[in-house]
Amino acid sequence: MLDESAELSVSITQIVQRLKGTHLHSQLEKQAKECLHKPEIKLETLKDDVRRLLKASGMTCLPPPRHPRAPPEHTKEPLAYMRKAQVNWEKRILKSLNSMCTELGIPLARKRPVPEQNELTNKWNEMGTDEPDLSKFRPVYAPKDFLEVLVGLKNPNNERSEDLTVRSHWGLIQVSLNVRDIPQTREMYPELGLTYGQLGIDDHTHVPPDLFESEHIHIGKKVVSEHDSAAAQQYSRQGCPTGLRAQLWSLILNTTDDPEAITHYEQLKARVIHHDLLVDNLIYKDVKLTASNDDYYFVFEDYLYQVLLCFSRDTAVLEHFNYNCATPPKSCIQSKSGSEQCAVVYPPNGVIPFHGFSMYVAPLCFLYNEPSKLYSVFREMYIRYFFRLHSLTNPLCVLSLCLQFERLLQTHLPQLFYHLREIGAQPLRIAFKWIVRAFSGYLSTDQLLLLWDRILGYDSLEIVAVLAAAVFAFRAENLMEVTSLASAEAVLADLSTLKVMPLLQIFLFATSV
Amino acid sequence: VTNLPSQQTAGHKGGRSCIRYRCGLTNTIQDVLNQRPGWVEVKDDGEWDLNWCDVGWLRENFDHSYMEEHVRICHFRNHYELTRKNLMVKNLKRYRKTLEREAGRLEASKCDFFPCTFVLPSEYHIFVEEFKRSPGSTWIMKPVSVYSSDGSRSEEQKDEAQVESYVAQRYIENPYLIAGRKFDLRVYVLVTSYIALKAWLYRDGFARFSNTRFSLSSIDDQYVHLTNVAVQKTSPDYDPEKGCKWQMQQLRQYLTAKHGFETVQTLFKEIDNIFIRSLLSVQKTIINDKHCFELYGYDILLDQDLKPWLIEVNASPSLTASSQEDYDLKYRLLEDTLHIVDMEGRLTGKEKRVGVFDLMWNDGPVHMDVGLEALGSSCLVANTHLGCVNDRQKQLQQLLKPFPGQKRT
């Protein structure tokens, strides 16, 4: 293990490396050069003076991009059995993808002939009008397949008795990870407390706007005009006003409109035009099956293709594997000479889409409609948050969210949990699909965006697990009366009328602990 | 049904406990009337208290019917002054002229929400002049469907109607697109009286999307441009399971996210303006009758500058539901309409909101009740909330006394 100071200098070097060539770097350089001309500068204290003046000029340091140290495999995920499970899971999905490829006789990648390239360029803004024959394609996996993997995870050193006691865990997840309980969650989310104003509660029609809403919007405008990323993140904890949300999220995620981003997107688009990938069909199918069938997201079908097809080809996404303990899938392709096979990452971004994947993008279409902007925001959200929802990764991933959900339920609604367990309706079986999608497609859009405000504001997905438990708490009365998994699912089938913030607030702050 | 004697309640209308209705349509309205406590259907020649008729029945029977004071019917005798395009244009142009004379050009320009329209064949020559003056412009020919010289059919029956004349209307070439698709808005306005004008605006409505992507080059593709669900249904692309509607709330949120709160506020104010001006323009032509009320379906189109345009007013908006969600919306719409018509005499007449309806105009603009903090400020806020949230159940529970014979739940 590296010691503290060496770790720090590694981090700093990496940050500097990352910043080089970005717009921010040239701005800093420019500002620093200007400072040099100021009379206060003395040669002896050059470094400090420049630093001081930079600060005074308003160039405060943006929170560094989350760039944890690049550790070797074992520091990414210290538990051997977790690593093994991840590797096995990856093998499975890769096998599934390859066998589909062999079965259908379709190459993993192929260069498009020029007429096809031209056709696609013309149709770029309306790819949704295409109706390719997708019947032969099936999604590589669905969330419930992944759930089975999670359920099967067991620490081989831990002997678990089969007895159901008060002290045992009643849920499906069998690993013991450290997850927060309600008192700890309260400490983590103080701004959701009863004494703080919230968008999603205090902007209700009955509440006079002077109490909270007007002032909050006023502050939001200030935050946006000052381009203050850290402030935007803090602000977002109490919700983003609809009219400011797009800019605030952009600030928090550090996505800009600068030419680099646009160029990058255009390059990706060019890659889509030149090459056809097998996974493209999976994307088409997913969009047609999920987003296109949604009452609200169907309109954005074309945007989803424009984002997801480019996303598949974006090798910059591979960087997130530095802190994701998954490894990007590799497939063998013939080299140009035809004699060798070499393993390349496939798809180029290392992410095999699964059933429902397009729902990560769909809500963002409400906020952004310039393709490069929409793309940047989505990509950033993926490499910070969404990847955790379908891989086993430290410190927070879908596994710990599931466990947290189950523990919260068992601790605070034991009667309900026991009842559901007895009728064969393990709560996680119902809640898992919500968690994997961070509730996209299950909540109404305005409520979903209020939830995602808090994910960004607290830089954590934990709130998804808490909400899942809060939903069960809300419908507890009805759930106590059901007698089968099917009827439990029916009670929880429609979440479109739920108001997210009151549910969370009641569960966290108005439940006796 | 219990036979309670009809009660005289504190309301200014005589409240009745057993209400006989006649219904000429077989869709959502049937269910709403059927399920209303204390309402009984009468058929054929039976005496009725409320008649939900179609315009055909109206045309044939209105003039010969004697209606007691309390009786209500769901159309105005000559509603077509508002709904037939050639008459609407005539009335609006005349109203605009009057407005310009009396209040100046600025005020009159508030009537410029109707795309330039000429009635054919009578205005053929002026149309040709205008056509030549704007080279490259596109015009859409719309039939004015009539049934033996007066009246207009309901939306469902339009394809069977006989066409007597056409209007040529300037086509809006730069519609506002969402994700490349054109859409129009359907908004519901309830008028309970023309003199003095009393109009209610329903908060919910929807945006209807065209299934295909908009482009002027596909002008021949009739399915691209016409967004009425009824027309979309015949498009080969159409998938009824998909549904191509957004709730008004959804649209309002989307636009607010894109353009900011103030811009969208202004847009919706301009939309209000369309309702009010169009109704005022026919106020003196429509034969007012205290027995009549009418639920209009307004079709509004937005252009890229976020200017709203009036496309059409329907006196018999489609009440057939295309999905469960649609059914629920239309059910609540009709239920609230009947609450306002108030055969049961439960309202005081001073209400500014009933269910999802907000009182928009009551012989003058209606403003929201202001709280104590705002007293003294000169800021008056209009009482319209199109696309805004509503807590209908709660509001109705607080507002309405239970039906006669029903206990409050």
Which residue would you say has higher pLDDT here, A214 or B216?
Answer: A214
Mean pLDDT along residues B346-359: 91
**Inter-chain residue contact A242 with B250, CB threshold 8 Å:** no
B16-70: pLDDT as tens digits: 668 999 998 888 999 999 999 889 999 877 888 999 988 888 888 888 888 888 8
Of B179, B257, B373, the CB nearest to A210: B373
For A296-319, the three-class secondary structure string (H helix, E strand, C coil) is CHHHHHHHHHHHHHHHHCCHHHHH
Other CB atoms within a 10 A radius of the CB of residue A53 amount to 18
Mean pLDDT along residues B375-402: 76
Look at residue B168 and give its three-state secondary structure: strand
pLDDT band at A76 (very low <50, low <70, confident <90, very high): low
The DSSP bridge partners found for residue B299 are: B186, B312
What's the rounded Cα separation, in Å, for the pair A375 and A352? 17
**Does A126 touch chain B if contact means CB atoms closer than 8 Å?**
yes
- Half-sphere exposure of residue A387: CA atoms within 13 angstroms, side-chain side: 26
Of A208, A303, A367, the CB nearest to B257: A367
ipTM: 0.75
**Inter-chain residue contact A243 with B257, CB threshold 8 Å:** yes
**Does A245 touch chain B if contact means CB atoms closer than 8 Å?**
yes
pLDDT band at B331 (very low <50, low <70, confident <90, very high): very high
Alpha carbon distances (Å) from A349 to A88, A261, A311, A346: 20, 17, 7, 7
**Inter-chain residue contact B180 with A302, CB threshold 8 Å:** yes
Alpha carbon distances (Å) from A120 to A114, A269, A299, A462, B389: 10, 11, 20, 41, 42
* Highest mean pLDDT of the ranges A8-12, A151-155, A392-396, A427-431: A427-431
What are the strands of the beta sheet with B50-52, ordered from one edge? B39-41, B19-23, B50-52, B72-73
Task: For tokens 């605009």, name the residue.
Answer: B96
Other CB atoms within a 10 A radius of the CB of residue B106 amount to 9
Q: Which residue of B has its CA nearest to A214?
A: B261
* Surface of A (446-475) touching B: CB under 8 A: 446
Query: Among A98, A80, A100, which residue's Cα sits nearest to residue A90?
Result: A98
Q: Is the pLDDT of residue B7 over 60?
A: no
DSSP element (H, E) containing B360: strand B357-362
Of B180, B243, B253, the CB nearest to A446: B253
What's the rounded Cα separation, in Å, for the pair A67 and A13? 11
* End-to-end CA gap in chain A: 40
Distance from CA of B262 to the nearest CA of A (A): 9
List CB contacts of A365: < 8 A, sequence separation 6 or more.
Answer: A297, A299, A300, A303, A304, A374, B179
State residue B219's pLDDT score.
Answer: 54
State residue A67's pLDDT score.
Answer: 43
Chain A with chain B: Cβ pairs closer than 8 A: 64
State residue B221's pLDDT score.
Answer: 54
**Inter-chain residue contact A242 with B209, CB threshold 8 Å:** no
Chain B residues near residue A205 by CB distance under 8 angstroms = 388-391
Tokens describing residue A351: 């992410």
Residue of A210, A294, A298, A453 for testing the chain B interface, max B β-carbons within 10 Å: A298
**Inter-chain residue contact A302 with B325, CB threshold 8 Å:** no
B257-274: pLDDT as tens digits: 889 888 999 999 999 999
**Inter-chain residue contact A126 with B180, CB threshold 8 Å:** yes
Helix, strand, coil % in chain B, rounded to nearest 5: 35, 25, 45
Task: For tokens 């020649």, name the residue.
Answer: B45
**Does A405 touch chain B if contact means CB atoms closer than 8 Å?**
no
**Does A158 touch chain B if contact means CB atoms closer than 8 Å?**
no
What's the rounded Cα separation, in Å, for the pair B208 and B184? 5
**Inter-chain residue contact B242 with A369, CB threshold 8 Å:** no
State residue B197's pLDDT score.
Answer: 94
Residues present in chain A in total: 513
**Inter-chain residue contact A293 with B258, CB threshold 8 Å:** no
Q: Is the pLDDT of residue B76 over 80?
A: yes
Q: Which of A98-107, A401-410, A451-460, B222-231 has the lowest mean pLDDT?
A: B222-231
Chain B residues near residue A307 by CB distance under 8 angstroms = none
pLDDT band at A466 (very low <50, low <70, confident <90, very high): very high
Q: Which residue of B has its CA nearest to A242?
A: B257
**Does A303 touch chain B if contact means CB atoms closer than 8 Å?**
yes
Other CB atoms within a 10 A radius of the CB of residue B134 amount to 11
DSSP letters along B212-250, please? EE--GGGTT-HHHH---HHHHTTSTT--TTT--EEEHHH
**Inter-chain residue contact B181 with A299, CB threshold 8 Å:** yes
Beta-strand relationship, B72-73 and B50-52: parallel
Q: What is the dihedral of CA A96, A101, A102, A105, to 10 degrees?
A: 160
Distance from CA of B189 to the nearest CA of A (A): 22
What's the rounded Cα separation, in Å, for the pair B249 and A447? 13
Angle in degrees, CA B237, B243, B248, rounded to 5: 130
Q: Which of A34-43, A316-325, B295-304, B381-390 has the lowest mean pLDDT?
A: A34-43
pLDDT band at A1 (very low <50, low <70, confident <90, very high): very low
For chain B, list residues whose CB is within 8 angstroms of any CB belonging to chain A.
178-181, 209, 212-213, 241-246, 249-250, 253-254, 256-261, 264, 325, 371, 373, 388-391
Query: Among B181, B124, B147, which residue's Cα sits nearest to residue B58?
Result: B147
Task: For tokens 């466990």, name the residue.
Answer: A403
Of B256, B325, B390, the CB nearest to A243: B256
Q: Which long-range contacts (CB under 8 A, 24 or more apart) does A10-15 make?
A: A10/A69, A10/A70, A11/A67, A11/A69, A14/A67, A14/A69, A14/A70, A15/A64, A15/A65, A15/A67
**Inter-chain residue contact A298 with B253, CB threshold 8 Å:** no
Which percentage of chain A shows pLDDT scores above 90? 40
Query: Among A425, A441, A421, which residue's Cα sits nearest to residue A433?
Result: A441
State residue A51's pLDDT score.
Answer: 63
**Inter-chain residue contact A292 with B389, CB threshold 8 Å:** no
Angle in degrees, CA A366, A372, A376, rounded to 5: 80
Chain B residues near residue A243 by CB distance under 8 angstroms = 256-257, 259-261, 264
**Does A243 touch chain B if contact means CB atoms closer than 8 Å?**
yes
DSSP letters along B270-321, please? HHHHHHHHHHHHTTTTS---TTB-EEEEEEEEEBTT--EEEEEEESS-----
What's the rounded Cα separation, in Å, for the pair A246 and A224? 10
A147-164: pLDDT as tens digits: 999 988 887 777 666 666
pLDDT band at A60 (very low <50, low <70, confident <90, very high): very low
**Does A363 touch chain B if contact means CB atoms closer than 8 Å?**
no
What's the rounded Cα separation, in Å, for the pair A54 and A47? 11
Angle in degrees, CA B203, B207, B212, rounded to 5: 175
* 8 A C-beta contact, residue A173 and residue A153: yes
State residue B279's pLDDT score.
Answer: 95
Query: Among B190, B143, B390, which residue's Cα sits nearest to residue B292?
Result: B190
What's the rounded Cα separation, in Å, for the pair A476 and A85? 34
Dihedral sign of CA atoms A131, A137, A141, A142 in order? positive
pLDDT band at A314 (very low <50, low <70, confident <90, very high): very high
pLDDT band at B368 (very low <50, low <70, confident <90, very high): confident
**Does A122 touch chain B if contact means CB atoms closer than 8 Å?**
no
Mean pLDDT along residues A443-470: 95
Task: State the burial class of residue A177 (Cβ atoms within 10 Å of its Cβ: 0-12, 13-18, 19+).
Answer: middle
**How far is Cα of residue A71 from the mean position of the Cα atoms in its chain?**
22
pLDDT band at A62 (very low <50, low <70, confident <90, very high): very low
**Inter-chain residue contact A302 with B179, CB threshold 8 Å:** yes
Of B179, B246, B373, the CB nearest to A208: B373
State residue A360's pLDDT score.
Answer: 96
Of B213, B241, B250, the CB nearest to A445: B250
State residue B227's pLDDT score.
Answer: 53
pLDDT band at B356 (very low <50, low <70, confident <90, very high): very high
Mean pLDDT along residues A358-365: 95
Q: Which of A207-216, A357-366, B308-317 has the lowest mean pLDDT?
A: A207-216
Chain B residues near residue A245 by CB distance under 8 angstroms = 257
A488-498: pLDDT as tens digits: 999 999 999 89
Mean pLDDT along residues A232-261: 91
Q: Is the pLDDT of residue A434 over 70?
A: yes
